[in-house]
Structure 1
Amino acid sequence: METKLPLDENQLSKIILDAAFKVHTKTGPGLLETIYEVTLAYELRKQGLRVERQVPIPIHYDELVFDEGFRADLLVEDKVIVELKSVEKLASVHSKQVLTQLRLSNRRLGLLLNFGEVHLKHGIERVSNGAPNIAPSFGKKLFSFFASFASFA
Structure 2
Amino acid sequence: MSNYSPQSRKEEDRLSKEIIGAAIEVHRHLGPGLLESAYEECLCKELEIRDIVFERQKPLAVVYKGITLDCGYKLDIVVEGKVILELKSVNKIESIHDAQLLTYLKLSDLKLGLLINFNVPILKEGIKRIVNNL
Q: TM-score, normalised by structure 2?
A: 0.89
1:96 Cα shift?
1.1
Q: 1:24 aligns with which of 23, 27, 51?
A: 27
Question: What is the identity percentage for the equivalent residue pairs of Structure 1 and Structure 2?
Answer: 47
- Secondary structure of 1:81's match? strand
Q: Which residue of structure 2 lines up, in the alignment, with residue 124 of structure 1? A: 127
Q: Which residue of structure 1 lines up, in the alignment, with residue 82 of structure 2? A: 79
Partner Cα separation in structure 2 for residue 106 and residue 10 of structure 1: 17
Partner Cα separation in structure 1 for residue 75 and residue 117 of structure 2: 15
- Within 5 Å, give how 1:84-99 maps onto structure 2: 84-99=87-102
1:82 Cα shift?
0.2
Q: 1:43 aligns with which of 37, 46, 70?
A: 46
Q: Which residue of structure 2 lines up, in the alignment, with residue 108 of structure 1? A: 111
Partner Cα separation in structure 2 for residue 125 and residue 76 of structure 1: 16
Asked whether the equivalents of residues 59 and 69 of structure 1 are also in contact (C-alpha less than 8 Å), the reply is no
Aligned residue pairs total 126
- Secondary structure of 2:87's match? strand
1:68 Cα shift?
4.5
1:67 Cα shift?
3.0
Partner Cα separation in structure 2 for residue 110 and residue 29 of structure 1: 21
Q: After TM superposition, where is structure 1 displaced by more than 6 Å over at least 4 residues in a row?
A: none
Alignment RMSD (CA, Å) = 1.5
- Secondary structure of 1:55's match? strand
Query: Any unmatched runs of 5+ in structure 1?
Result: 1-5, 132-153
Q: CA offsets, 1:22-70, max 9 Å, x none? A: 0001001111101111111111111111111101111112243223442
Task: Tell me whether 1:66 sits opposite 2:60 in the alignment.
Answer: no
1:117 Cα shift?
1.1
Q: TM-score, normalised by structure 1?
A: 0.78
Structure showing greater radius of gyration is 1
